[in-house]
Every structure is written in C-alpha cells, then in structure tokens.
A and B are shown apart, each in its own frame.
Chain A
Amino acid sequence: MNKSEKWYGFLFIAPMMVGYAVFLLGPMISAFAMSLTDRSLMGEGSFIGFANYARAMTDDPVFWESVRNTFVFAAGLIPLNLGLALLLALLLQRKLPGIGLFRTAVFTPVITSIVVWAIVWKYIFATDAGLLNHLLSMIGVKGPAWLYNMDLAMPVVIVVSVLKNVGLNMVLFLAALQDVPKSYQEAAVVDGAARRTVLLRITLPLISPTVFMAFLLTLIGSLKVFGQIYVLTGGGPGTSTHVLVYYIYQLAFKLSEFGYASAVAFVLFFLLMGMTLIQWGVRKRWVFYEN
C-alpha cells in the first residue's frame, strides 16, 4: 500500500464522511435522545424516559389516526400505482408509431413539482370554481365538495398521487420488460401458449424482481407522503387526511413540541425499517428470478 495513496484516500472521502457524521448520523442520534425528553420551545427539556412513546401509543388518538391514514393512503395508492404502471408499460413496450408521445405524457408529471401538481388538481377539484364540478353539472350532476368531504378527500389525494408518480414505475417496468429475452416468449408461442399465458407465466415472473423493488420504493414513499397533503387538504377535513409526516411537521414546526415530535418521527423510522426488513424476508418466496 502506497503511503501517500492512503492519505489521498482519506482526504477524498473526508467531505462525505464529515457530512455523514454531521448531517445524518449525528441528527439521528440526537433525535433519539430528544425523543426521551420533554423538550419544547422553552429550554432543553428534561429526561422522561420512554414517556413520549407511551403517550403516542396509549394517550394520543391523533397519533393513531395519523398511522391509520398513512396506511389507508399506502393501501390505496400501491395497487393503483403498480397496476396502472404495469399496464402502461405493457402497452408502451411495442414499437408503434407515436408511442413516444404517450410515454412523454405519462412521464411529464414525474418531473413536475408536487406542489404545482397538487395546486392544479386542487383547482380542478374546487367545489364552485373547479373544472370537474363544472363538467359534472353539464350532465346534470351536482358535484360534491371533493376536498371538504370526510369520505372523498383521501381518495382524491390518492388519485392525484397516483397520476403524479405512475410514470416513474412505468419507466422502471419498461426497462425490465426490454431485458426479457424475446426468445422465451417466442418459444412459448410456438409451443401453442396463449398470449395471456405467456404474460402470466413468462413475462411477469421474469420482471418480478423489478416489480418487487418498485413495490418497496412506492411503499416507503407513500409512508412519507407530505407535500400533496399539505397543499390539497392541510390534513383535513377533520383529521381524515392527517398522515404521519404531516403530524410530525405540525408537532415540531407549528407547536414546537420537539421531544414528542422526535418520538413520533422515530416510530415512522422503525416502521420504514420494519417494512423494509419484512419485505426482504418475504422476497425469496415470490420473486423467482434473481441475478
């Protein structure tokens, strides 16, 4: 080992190592320490053990409401997003004239800011001035107050989120479909397999690692949903779209309950980590082909 090479090595990684310590690991440790205190706007707060966690679990209906809503959001979004993305990828994989235009259309929302996307949809779903209710009234239907209705607000948020991000998974699936050897599918067709059989027995199993990864990324992303909630509903009406990150934001940056907010943030962290680990465990059972 060259002596100066050693020092160059340390020198080259130094900025990122410092960044890791100061901006990631440090705050993570500090957040955990803070979650064991009753720190608020005034002063350092004092050590209260796991009382914040106990408060979240046993004494805070809004916390449970947020957990529930976060999972309702994820459970609604994931099948719609993955299903639509897969359908679009299957439709777009054939080289037909003009197909690039459709791909561009579906991908454009992905690069658009979630704030802009949510604002435009908020306008479309507006009760009196909204395009949707205008169109509905043209066919004689009186549209509901979409974003101010306890039962409708969450479905609207889910649909808006699916349309925003479906292009991302579509691109991932398209890339995976292109890697499926054409000879497999052709061989199956020669053997007399129906199109549907080829799709279900050959194509889908071969891209299952990508589907799985997309599932995982979509799940993690949906547990962290924030921007569209902030713009579209502000957590309301009532607490019907109040999700975990929105709750953390409110606790920490509106109410300055830093100790309790850190505890809730750590619950989210454990949730994210747990999901990842469980899914990695399940992985081997239904992902058939792995490089």
Chain B
Amino acid sequence: MKTNRARHSDASVIGTLLRYMLLAAVSILMLLPFFWMVSTSLKDRTRIFVFPPEWFPWPPTWENFTEVFERQPFHLYYFNTLYIAAAVTAGVCVFAGLAGYAFAKLKFPFKNALFLLLLSSMMIPTEATSIPMFIWMSNLGLVDTHFPLIVPPMLGASGMFGVFLLRQFFITIPGELDDAARIDGCSPWGTFWRIMMPLAAPSLASLSIFTFLHSYNEFFEPLIYLNSNKLYTLPLALSLFTNESGTEWHLVMAASVMATLPLLLVFFMAQRKFMEGIALTGLK
C-alpha cells in the first residue's frame, strides 16, 4: 500500500515537473519577441549584426529612443492614437449604454424588430463596407482626417457590440429599481444616467477595455484613410518604418517598445479585468 502511494506521488511529481517544463517552453516562445525587441532597442547600429547575438547589450544605448523622436513626430502618434481610442471608447459607452438601456427597459413600438435589425449587423464585415465608406468620406473631404477612425466605429461595429453587451446586463436589473426611480420623479434620462450607468460600471469597464484595445491596435482603417504623417497612429507609423528599404532595426525596435509600453503597463496592473473583458467579448 505504501509503495503504491509512493509510486503514485512519484508519478505526480514527474507530471507536475513536465507540466512546468511545457508551460515554460511555451511562455519563453511568447515572451521572446518582447525580450528581443527591448534588447535590440538598447543596441547601437554597429551591434545589430554582431555574431553571436548579444542577449544583454552592455552598456545599453538609449540614443535610439531619442533618435526616433528626432526622425518622426512620435509624440503626435501617441497623442493621435490615445485621443482617438479614448473618444471611440467614451462614445461607445454613452451611445451603446443609451440604446442598451432602451432595448432592455423602455417600452416603445417595434422594439424587438429594431433590435433584431441591429443584431443582423454582426454579419457585416468591415472589409466589405470599407470601399463605399472610403468613397463617401473622400466625397465629404474627410479622408486624411481622424473622423473616419472615430465616428463610424463608435456608431457602427464597435458600438453595436456594446449595445448587445449592455442590453444583456440591463435585462438582469430588477424592474422595481426603474419604477422606484420613476415614482421619485426621475425622468428616463435621469434614471439612465444617475442609476443605471453607475450600476453597469463592471460591464462598462469590460466594454471599455475591449473597445480601447481594438481602436489602439486598429490597422486597416488608419492605413486606408490617413496620408499625412502628422495624423498617423502608432500601428500605422510602425508599419511604414519597416517598409523603407534597408530597415534600421534598432530604431524600429525602439519605436515598437514605445508603442507597446503603455498598453503593457496597464495590462500588468489590471490583468484580471483584461482577461475577463476579452473573454467576455470573445463570446459575442
């Protein structure tokens, strides 16, 4: 009996060890690009091609970062990316919140038919709508502005997803709460803004993370709409760095580090919320 148990625990020790080794191998593969990106960004141009490759460049060079700022208006890329993502996120929360609340709690004619209509938009891929949208935007003189990166996602695809998510949440709130607020003289607007939205804070946080990330990382739309260097977003600016012939990897890596750092910092601080938000939205 004793030997049996000992054998069993031996097997489980080996099992645990194997488990850790396998996980470590995959994790190294996942983190290697980040490590190599940081490592390269700290090398000067002469050490890029050194053989064998230098894992920990010593002494590190910080000039690549300043050089990126000298060559490109990188501070503008930061600003553009952040303000566009913030605007889309704020807009989605308010407008999707309004519609989600109305579909969940208010009574009005054709409510279900209108909701089904919105639901059908999940089938529409942005790749198919991008061509007429581009032509309309160019007729309105809105190509090479940030308008097409803010308003269409806010009231289009990203916003629709928010409507479904928030409607789902508002349905779970008991109707008595609504009635009580109404009896106390709250208008539907007051009920929505002062009672419902604060209650929806956890759902809004998930939705915000999802929307912000999506906008921050968006590539296709900036690529087709933006021409002027000063309007570029971070992903677009980076993609154009590498397309020049004879890529200067030390600069590209420094720029990549700077583009990735803000998101990574926020992610490490609020990991659980991120994974919940993404998992939740992955279930759409």
Contact = CB atoms under 8 A, between A and B. Distances in A.
Contacts of B131: 27, 31, 34, 248, 252, 258, 261-262, 265
A102 interface: yes
Nearest to A123: B249
Contact of A12 (B32, B37, B192): B192
A30 interface: yes
B136 to A, nearest CB: 8
A88 to B, nearest CB: 6
Interface in B235-284: 235-236, 238-239, 241-242, 247, 249, 252-253, 256, 259-260, 263-264, 267-268, 271, 274-275, 278-279, 282-283
Contact of A110 (B19, B129, B278): B278
Chain A binding surface, main DSSP class: helix
Interface size class of A (residues with CB under 8 A): 35 or more
Chain B binding surface, main DSSP class: helix
Contact of A112 (B108, B130, B260): B260
Interface residues of B, number: 96
A123 B239 contact: no
Contacts, number: 273
Contacts of A28: 124, 128-129
29 contacts: A5-B106, A9-B102, A12-B188, A13-B99, A16-B95, A16-B96, A16-B99, A16-B155, A20-B121, A20-B160, A28-B128, A91-B23, A101-B27, A102-B27, A107-B274, A108-B264, A109-B33, A111-B264, A113-B216, A113-B219, A113-B235, A119-B252, A119-B256, A172-B279, A175-B279, A227-B235, A261-B131, A269-B124, A269-B125
Given A88-B23, A113-B259, 13 more contacts: A9-B111, A16-B159, A17-B99, A19-B159, A20-B118, A20-B155, A22-B155, A23-B157, A24-B156, A99-B23, A113-B234, A122-B242, A253-B134
